[in-house]
Chain A
Amino acid sequence: DADVTQTPRNRITKTGKRIMLECSQTKGHDRMYWYRQDPGLGLRLIYYSFDVKDINKGEISDGYSVSRQAQAKFSLSLESAIPNQTALYFCATSDLRAGSYNEQFFGPGTRLTVL
């Protein structure tokens, strides 16, 4: 079974709709991240969380919100989706336990299309 899972894997929605992307992990990591990938732009950080009570904005947080429901679950919401939020979204996890050096592990991605 995959250590980092994302649901849904693909989603097509319309402008103005609220969308939630979910991420779960079985690695026991404290840190979780949401990135988006756009052709020609690389991956950019949206939000990150160091534990359940610690959530922080990343480089491109406008138009997004997150919820850390438990150590293993981190959800990304688009309150009112717009076409330029069409992208591939990745969840990642890491920790700083001895020997880990904050190595990040990624989920399979969610391809979101906003029409």
Chain B
Amino acid sequence: KQEVTQIPAALSVPEGENLVLNCSFTDSAIYNLQWFRQDPGKGLTSLLLIQSSQREQTSGRLNASLDKSSGRSTLYIAASQPGDSATYLCAVENSGYALNFGKGTSLLVTP
């Protein structure tokens, strides 16, 4: 069974810092990997999807990388802002349908 781990569980940074969130997975035979953002009491917003054949994807200040061989993905957030405060979830798809989720990293960006 695919196991997805996110480190750290919580992170607090001052505004303007660049930061990296980590995701590791145990089964490298993945179809894709998605990063989501979840705000308190809200649903999940898809941030980036990396196909298994890709190494990275970029959207604005976000950059996600994928290294299948080592079972790792990182989400890089440049020039963090207080509005980036949320929980970030990594999810891996192995089977063409179901996502296996990590427990998330809770990010707080302080002014």
Binding site for B on A (CB under 8 A): 4, 31, 33, 40-45, 48, 50, 56, 58-59, 90, 92, 96, 101-109, 111
Contact = CB atoms under 8 A, between A and B. Distances in A.
A102 B103 contact: no
3 nearest A-B residue pairs (beta carbon): A106-B44, A108-B43, A43-B101
Given A90-B43, A107-B43, A101 B101 contact: no
A104 B99 contact: yes
A48 B97 CA distance: 8
Contacts of A96: 96
Contact of A108 (B31, B42, B89): B42
Contacts of A105: 46
A44 B100 CA distance: 7
Interface of B: 4, 31-32, 34, 36, 41-46, 49, 51, 89, 91, 93, 96-99, 101-104
B97 to A, nearest CB: 6
Interface of B is mostly: strand
A103 B93 CA distance: 10
A76 B44 CA distance: 19
A50 B42 CA distance: 25
B42 A101 contact: no
Contact of A102 (B32, B36, B41): B32
23 contacts: A42-B4, A42-B101, A43-B91, A43-B99, A59-B98, A90-B43, A92-B44, A96-B96, A101-B31, A101-B32, A101-B51, A102-B31, A102-B93, A103-B32, A103-B34, A103-B49, A104-B34, A105-B46, A106-B43, A107-B43, A108-B43, A109-B41, A109-B43
Contacts of B49: 101, 103
B30 to A, nearest CB: 12
A101 B30 CA distance: 12
B17 to A, nearest CB: 26
A96 B97 CA distance: 10
A90 B101 CA distance: 13
Contacts of A104: 34, 46, 91, 99
